[in-house]
Each structure stands twice: as structure tokens, then as C-alpha cells.
Amino acid sequence: MRSSGVLLHITSLPGRYGIGTMGRYAYDFVDFLKKSHQTYWQILPIGPTGYGDSPYQCYSAFAGNPLLIDLDRLVTAGLIDGDDLDLRVLDRKKFADLAQLFAYKKIVLAKACHAFFEKDDPALTAEYESFCRENSFWLDDYALFMAVKGHFGQAMWTLWDDKFRLRDEDTLEEFSVSHSDELRQWKFMQFVFFRQYTALKRYANRNGVKIYGDMPIYVSPDSADIWANPEMFMLNDDRRPTKVAGCPPDPFAPTGQLWGNPLYDWEQIEKTGFAWWIKRVEYSARLFDLTRIDHFRGFEGFYAIPAEDETAENGEWLKGPGIKFFDAIKEKLGDVPLVAEDLGFLTEDVHKLLDAAGYPGMNVLEFAFGGDDSGYLPHNHRKNSVVYIGTHDNDTVLGWYRSCDEKTKNSISKYLALKKDSSEKKTVKALIRAAFASHADLCVIQMQDVLFLGSEARMNTPSTIGGNWHWRMDSMPGKEERKLLKKFTEIYFR
């Protein structure tokens, strides 16, 4: 069924707390989508971010980001005093220093945790205990990981003392007892996060808006997942990575891309029936109505770089689990709604795997206008696919168009039947129209493009550190943006 939606991460919502949250503006955005006749709200991964603030490098593949918790709702619930909120830290339109913001918010949430258990509300306490039981398969290790991480001054887990790094049972048991209050705080933060997230998703679904989430294929090198499940990764006996993830050299990156994520030991994972991954997909299916799996090609074959290398030049391609992985998911979970991020270097084997798995792939219009009959041009899109003009890893449409050479701009004008002297705004509108007109079942437009913003609003520039993931709207979109989306949705029967 044809449909459309908007890509806007929760962190990009406006508000007075230095970062978008699951509060008032999130609900207002759902209302905007409903009035614009949109079916999907696409968000980026919602995990707790670490170094570089990337939502694709999280401390856990299952936990939620405490920075997204709305403090106003805790004030309303009587768990914190509104007068205690330090707006010198919080009241900024652009992103505050996220490390400072997290340190402050942790103190506030610790107070809320104390007030919660002081209240001793039987119904809420039972809800908290039920949450902890149902999520114990990841929550216990995550809370312990974060507490130990704090004990070692936030150092990466590979730098901890050996008894902690190698998970000596007696050491961890003793630490858990002596730091029980802190472990409870970390669990409480997750309880609050998912309570607020569930309420927001329920509101969205009631208003005809589905949440389209994102699941990174790899987990962060500094994560509870690797620390607690070392057998699933390519590590040596000392739990150091032997091979890490990345991309081979190409004209855009002469030495390749060195991501640094430890790689999965797929042979070992297959022996478990892909148990951890099946739990992860099942968990994602509960959180989201539709989930994009990042770097789909990694399930067919992945680029493995020696861990000691400083560039990606000496990597090799290794085989992934292939269709066995997706057959196992379908056998256990049925037809989970997934989208395959099938961008980048693709081989015929990757295309065959996508066909066999049956999931929608992706089309990006910013890749389409190279002068040939590109598969990314709208007339070539497959029905079972999702069309974007650009994703979070691309420049905004306006920024991209301004950077195009004259030959590419001429190709765009010819394809869209525009006059050569058409304004930039008219060109952006024409590209949005072309995406809506695509054969693809689902069309998703970045909010920055609906607002006609330039490169200053770009979300991420791959292979760079600093300055990414920080864009926010100054205010909620209005009538003009609503009319634009509604108009194209109706014209192209989405």
C-alpha cells in the first residue's frame, strides 16, 4: 500500500532542554504528521549514545537514551521539583554540550528515582518490577556495565581492571551489592524512558501514525553487548578484537573507512540458532511498527580489517550468515516488518539475498543524476522499496543541489522538466514531488527538506567526528509545510 512519512530524529525536536525529548513537542509533531496526512514518523536509533554522540554507537543495543526523557512529565508526576531544573544548562535552542547535559540529567533522574521509591506506590512499583523482569536479559548487564563504567571514570570497558573487564563473578557480585543503589538508578532511568516512549508510540498509533525505527547492524566497541557476550564477536582470549568493521578504499575514501566495531563470529552465533539476534529483532518489532536494518549487505558479506591497522586498506571480504539468518527470524517471529538499507558497494549476491529475504530496499534520489539510466531514478524504482531524496547521512536537498556541478544540475532540470533558471526552492519542491511520484510503496522526506534548509542543517557527514547529530528545529513546522506534504500525499495517492 502506498504511503509516506517524515524523517526527524527525536533529538531534533525543539524545546528548552538542550535536546529534543519525548515530551510536548513530540506529541505536537505527531499532530503535525496527522494533519499532513503522513503515515510514518521515521526516527534514528534511540539507544544511549557514547563518544561522538552517534546514535549508531550506543552503550547498548537494547537500552534507551536517558537524554530523551522529558523532565516536565516527571515534574507533573511529582518526582522532581520544577524549581530544581537549572535552565542555565538546559535552556538552549542548539545542542548543549551533551556530556555536560548527561551529567546534569543523571543527577536529576537520580533524585526522581529516590522520590519514586519513597512514594512506594504499589501499582507503579509493580510496574517497575515487571519491567525489570521482562527486560532482565539485557537490563541487568546494562545497569552493571554503566555503573562499572562510572567507577572507572567513564573509561572504555577494555581499559578496566582485568577482574571487571573479564567479568570475574566474585568481583562483579561484590560490586553489585556495594553499588546496589546506583544499579537501581540505571534501571529506573530505563523504566522511565520506555514508559514515556510507549506512551508516545501509543499516541502516534491512535492518530494513524506509525513509528519507523532504525537498528544498526553493529554494536559499539564500548558496549554492554560485547562486554556481556564476548563469545559472539571476533575477539581473542584476552577479549581484544582481532578484526573490526569498515569499508574498502574507493575514490571518495582512498584509504577506506575504518569504523572500528568488533565483528560478529557468525559461526558461533549460528550454533545458538541466532538467539541473541532473534531477541534483538523481536525487541525492535515491539518498539517500532517498521524497522530499518542498517548495512544489510553485511549479512551477505562483510569487510574485515585487522584490528591493529590504522586504515581500512588491508581488509578482506568474509561471508555473512546469508539467508539462513533471515529464515531463522521468520521461523521464530513470522514476517517482521523490516526495511533493508541496501546502499553502498553491492554485489549480485547481495541483490539475490534481498530478493530471497523479500524485504523492501532503499532508493536515494541524490544518487540518481549521474547522467545514465540509474536505478535510483524514480521510473526505475521497485514497488517493494522505500524512496528518499537523502537520508541522515546525506546533505540536505538544498545543500546537495548547491554543491552539484552544472552537468548534474542540467540532468536534474531535464528529468524534472524545470527551466534552467528555476529557483532553488522550486527545484527542491520538484525533487520532493518526484519522490512522492515514485513507484516505491513508501516515500520518506527529511524534515530539513520540507523546511528548505541548507547544509547548516545536515545531520551527519560520514567518516567525520564532531559537529554531527546536533541539528534541531527552532520551532514546530507550520501551515506551509503541512500543505506541501498533504498536497503531494493526495496527488500521488499515498
Residue 371 pLDDT: 80
100-148: per-residue pLDDT in tens? 888 889 999 999 999 999 998 999 999 999 999 999 999 999 999 999 9
Grid cell at residue 62: 537494547
Residue 254 pLDDT: 87
Identify the bridge partners of residue 361 per DSSP, sorted by sequence position.
385
Q: Is the pLDDT of residue 466 over 90?
A: no
Residue 99 pLDDT: 79
294 has catalytic annotation: yes
Share of the chain above pLDDT 70, in %: 98
User: How far, in Å, CA of 394 to CA of 151, rounded?
Assistant: 38
Grid cell at residue 388: 528518499
Q: Is the pLDDT of residue 343 over 70?
A: yes
Determine which one of 182, 341, 342, 366 is catalytic.
341
Q: What is the mean pLDDT of the chain?
A: 94
- Helix H segments across 272-396? 275-287, 323-333, 348-357
Query: Are the C-beta atoms of residues 232 and 269 closer than 8 Å to each other?
Result: yes
What does the DSSP assignment read for 376-414? TSGGG--SSEEEES--TTSPPHHHHHHHS-HHHHHHHHH
370-404: per-residue pLDDT in tens? 888 889 999 999 999 999 999 999 999 999 999 99
Closest CA to 283 of 137, 177, 170: 137
Determine which one of 309, 313, 393, 481 is catalytic.
393
Q: What average pLDDT does the segment 203-221 reach?
A: 97
User: How far, in Å, CA of 47 to CA of 67, rounded?
Assistant: 10
Q: How far is CA 74 from CA 17, 64, 77, 363, in A?
A: 14, 17, 5, 41
Determine which one of 53, 214, 222, 294 is catalytic.
294
Beta-carbon count within 10 A of 480 CB = 10
354-375: per-residue pLDDT in tens? 999 999 999 999 999 988 888 9
219-273: per-residue pLDDT in tens? 999 999 999 999 999 999 999 999 999 988 877 678 988 989 999 999 999 999 9
Q: What average pLDDT does the segment 478-487 reach?
A: 97
Q: What average pLDDT does the segment 186-196 reach?
A: 98
- Give the position of cell 546502499: 343
User: How far, in Å, CA of 178 to CA of 220, rounded?
Assistant: 28
306-334: per-residue pLDDT in tens? 999 999 999 999 999 999 999 999 999 99
User: How far, in Å, CA of 134 to CA of 456, rounded?
Assistant: 42
Residue 95 pLDDT: 72
- Residue-range domains of the chain with CATH: 3-360+441-491 (3.20.20.80)
Q: What average pLDDT does the segment 191-200 reach?
A: 98
Task: Work out the burial of residue 177: count CB atoms within 10 Å of its CB; fewer than 13 is exposed, 13-18 middle, 19 or more buried.
Answer: exposed
User: How far, in Å, CA of 143 to CA of 172, rounded?
Assistant: 12
70 has catalytic annotation: no
Share of the chain above pLDDT 90, in %: 86
437-443-449-451 Cα dihedral, nearest 10 degrees: 90
Residue 88 pLDDT: 61
- Give the position of cell 543541489: 401
60-109: per-residue pLDDT in tens? 999 999 999 999 999 999 999 887 787 666 666 667 677 788 888 999 99
